[in-house]
Amino acid sequence: MRIAIANFSHESNTFAAKPTVLDDFAIYRGQAVVDHYTPTFHEVAGYIAGAEEYDFDLVPTLGANATPAGPLTRDTYETIVGELLEMLRQAKGLDGLLLALHGAMVAEDFPQADGETVRRVRQLMGPDFPIVVTHDYHGNVPESLARDANALIIYKTNPHIDQRERGLQAAELLARTVRGEVKPVSAIAKPNVLFNIAFHNTSLPPMQPIMQAAIDLENEPGILAASVAAGYQYADVPAMGPSVVVVADGDRDLAQAGAQRIADMIWAVRDQLLPDLPNAAEAVHQAMQAAQTPVALFDMGDNIGGGSAADSTLILEQLLAQKAGGWVVTLFDPEAVQACVQAGIGGAVALRVGGKTDATHGPTLSIGGRVRTLHSGEFEETERRHGGGRYFNQGLTAVVEVNRSGPGKGGLLVLNSKRTAPMSIHQITCVGIQPQQQKILVAKGTVAPRAAYAPVCAQIIQVDTGGACAINRSPSEFKRARTDFYEWQKR
Ligand SMILES: [Zn+2]
């Protein structure tokens, strides 16, 4: 059985200032796809494991991934999707395709770009060609995608730690489809709630019982897969919001009834979905009073994994104003890194840091300190963490001691040269910081950094900050999304 695999993934934030261009993508081709993903927990690693398990003749095509940011330019989308289609065209005698797409990609001409990609693949390969797609839990799924793919399987965890299992599940479903053992048919239901990202943790109510119901449904007779996408509220597109996708064996009514049952559960919790979280000043105050440390402050507005700037100073500003001690803040600021390189290790620096990407991520701050260390910025994560990655590179990195008059006084500013979401604690351990010896660790994210920070922190506080991923954006800022979300009617 000749099975092609591909990954073309991006989470595109339509409120982010910086568009995503070709250079932002890491692209692997052919055997390099296998080499890159095999040692990871990504769903493509699950596809590859499935190839072994189900005896595929594996045809690796393209693997393309970029850090979340603004929508893809026209050239970027057309170049990558064009290459993928060309590879599929040239791979003769294919029996099926496993296709990893994020689900929240936005391109200049195609707001629901993943739907467009599947449409083009379907058009090229014909109506009878089996295509199983996997999505991130933050996908905004259009009805057309559920129709154009034979089956869609979505991560069931947030932080996303089951990607490899979902890839393996997709491989099994594709194998059974190609062998003619099952005939997958899909149904989708989209409940009329926004389901704020503050409530996306799959280990806590209100989402935990909903996800459990999907897991239970998957074990019912006739059901091949049952998935819940929580949606991605930073891509202003018509399909924005949660989706339930159920795949049944030949019985579309059964799939639709299952999808509707879970969608009704989402509707039933609609009054529990209005976040009430501390702002930066309140959260810093709480963290300074905490009996047990370290406390992690999650900067939700500057959620790098959600496409934001990575240089917000809104929490740092409060740490300085309230004279907190023992803190660690990481900022993307290549210019400040270069100033630290000029000063050298041990050198005194007077820096202007952060708030340089746009006007929504806090002011640029004047900081005095001493360069503690300089690093290449490479690190490895061998544990199962959000995103499933293994090898990371945050670029040339400087650690600056700020107001460090004694142990536990002042803090450490980690300045890096590449926007890097805090998915691994080794982002700071690799630059010589011991997390357990600190009092306050600032991580720029909403739920995803939990997998990395919960093991080393006594407490995690989600902080309602401004930025490209602000959690309480006004409905008037949306142009393409539906306007009748239940929560928006309540405002
Ligand atoms: Zn996600």
Q: What is the CA radius of gyration of the chain?
A: 23
How far is C-alpha 83 from the chain's CA centre?
24
Residue 472 forms part of a structural domain: no
Q: How far is the CA of 138 from the centre of ligand 1 (A)?
A: 4
Q: What share of the chain is helix, strand, coil (3-state, %, to 5)?
A: 35, 25, 45
The reported pLDDT for the residue numbered 430 is 97
Residue 468 forms part of a structural domain: no
Q: Find all residues with CB under 8 Å of 434, minimum gap 6, and list them.
A: none
Give the strands of the sheet with 26-29, arranged side by side: 26-29, 57-65, 2-9, 96-101, 131-135, 151-154
Q: Find all residues with CB under 8 Å of 254, minimum gap 6, and list them.
A: 222, 223, 248
3-state secondary structure of 19: coil
Question: Residue 491's pLDDT band (boundaries 50, 70, 90)?
Answer: low
Q: How far is the CA of 331 from the centre of ligand 1 (A)?
A: 22
Residues 17 and 91 in one domain: yes
Across 65-79, 320-334, 346-360, 400-414, least confident range: 400-414
Residues 293 and 353 in one domain: yes
Q: How far is the CA of 304 from the centre of ligand 1 (A)?
A: 11
Q: What is the mean pLDDT of residues 105-120?
A: 98
Which residue bears the tokens 């579309």? 252
Q: How far is the CA of 278 from the centre of ligand 1 (A)?
A: 23
Q: What's 33's domain CATH number?
A: 3.40.50.2300
- Is 140:235 a contact under the CB 8 Å cutoff? yes
Residue 183 forms part of a structural domain: yes
Q: What is the mean pLDDT of residues 446-459?
A: 96
Q: How far is the CA of 102 from the centre of ligand 1 (A)?
A: 8
Indicate if the pLDDT at residue 418 is higher than 70: yes
The reported pLDDT for the residue numbered 330 is 98
Q: What is the DSSP string of 293-315?
A: SPEEEEESTT-GGGT--S---HH
Kindly report the number of other CB atoms within 10 A of residue 463's CB atom: 27
d(CA 320, CA 68): 29
Q: What is the mean pLDDT of residues 442-471?
A: 97
High-pLDDT (> 90) share of the chain, %: 97
Q: How far is the CA of 155 from the centre of ligand 1 (A)?
A: 8
pLDDT, the chain, mean: 97
Q: What is the mean pLDDT of residues 325-340?
A: 98
Q: Read off the DSSP letter of residue 73.
A: P
**pTM as predicted:** 0.94
The reported pLDDT for the residue numbered 405 is 78
Residues 257 and 163 in one domain: yes
Q: What is the mean pLDDT of residues 138-154?
A: 97
Kindly report the number of other CB atoms within 10 A of residue 391's CB atom: 11
3-state secondary structure of 78: helix
Q: How far is the CA of 426 from the centre of ligand 1 (A)?
A: 20
Q: How far is the CA of 137 from the centre of ligand 1 (A)?
A: 5
346: exposed, middle or buried (C-beta count within 10 Å: 0-12, 13-18, 19+)? Answer: exposed
Residues 235 and 91 in one domain: yes
Residues 208 and 335 in one domain: no
Q: How far is the CA of 157 from the centre of ligand 1 (A)?
A: 9
Q: Find all residues with CB under 8 Å of 169, minimum gap 6, and list them.
A: 46, 153, 225
Q: How far is the CA of 158 from the centre of ligand 1 (A)?
A: 7
Residue 8 forms part of a structural domain: yes
High-pLDDT (> 70) share of the chain, %: 100
- Give me the amino acid identity at 450: R
Q: What is the DSSP string of 196-241?
A: -GGG--TTSTTHHHHHHHHHHHHTSTTEEEEEEE---TTS-STT-S
d(CA 43, CA 30): 17
Residues 100 and 200 in one domain: yes
Indicate if the pLDDT at residue 13 is higher than 70: yes
d(CA 447, CA 138): 12
Q: List the one residue out of 132, 218, 170, 198 whose CA is nearest residue 42.
A: 170
- Is 48:7 a contact under the CB 8 Å cutoff? no
Indicate if the pLDDT at residue 136 is higher than 90: yes
3-state secondary structure of 128: coil
pLDDT digits (tens, 9 = 90+) for 186-196: 999 999 999 99
Q: How far is the CA of 160 from the centre of ligand 1 (A)?
A: 7
Q: How far is the CA of 120 from the centre of ligand 1 (A)?
A: 24
Residues 336 and 314 in one domain: yes
d(CA 139, CA 233): 10
d(CA 441, CA 443): 6
Q: Find the domain containing 439 and state its range.
A: 280-463
69 vs 483, higher pLDDT: 69
- Is 335:367 a contact under the CB 8 Å cutoff? no
The reported pLDDT for the residue numbered 289 is 97
pLDDT digits (tens, 9 = 90+) for 382-395: 999 999 999 999 99
Question: Residue 17's pLDDT band (boundaries 50, 70, 90)?
Answer: confident
Q: How far is the CA of 440 from the centre of ligand 1 (A)?
A: 25
Residues 308 and 336 in one domain: yes
Indicate if the pLDDT at residue 185 is higher than 80: yes
Residues 244 and 387 in one domain: no
Residue 490 forms part of a structural domain: no
Q: How far is the CA of 64 from the centre of ligand 1 (A)?
A: 16
Residues 95 and 242 in one domain: yes
Q: Read off the DSSP letter of residue 64.
A: E
Q: How far is the CA of 248 from the centre of ligand 1 (A)?
A: 25
Residue 477 forms part of a structural domain: no
- Give me the amino acid identity at 322: Q
Residue 481, token pair as written in the block: 């999304």
- Give me the amino acid identity at 437: Q
Q: List the one residue out of 68, 65, 33 whose CA is nearest residue 47.
A: 33
The reported pLDDT for the residue numbered 408 is 74
Q: How far is the CA of 269 from the centre of ligand 1 (A)?
A: 21
Residue 379 forms part of a structural domain: yes
Residues 293 and 425 in one domain: yes
First to last CA, the chain: 54
Count of residues making up the chain: 491
State the number of CA atoms in the 13 A half-sphere of 433 facing the CB: 30
Residue 140, token pair as written in the block: 């905004």
How far is C-alpha 92 from the chain's CA centre?
34
Residue 227 forms part of a structural domain: yes
Q: How far is the CA of 402 from the centre of ligand 1 (A)?
A: 34
- Is 467:314 a contact under the CB 8 Å cutoff? yes
- Number of folded domains that form the chain: 2
Q: What are phi and psi of 72, to 5 degrees?
A: -70, 140
Residues 37 and 177 in one domain: yes
Q: What are phi and psi of 475, to 5 degrees?
A: -55, -25
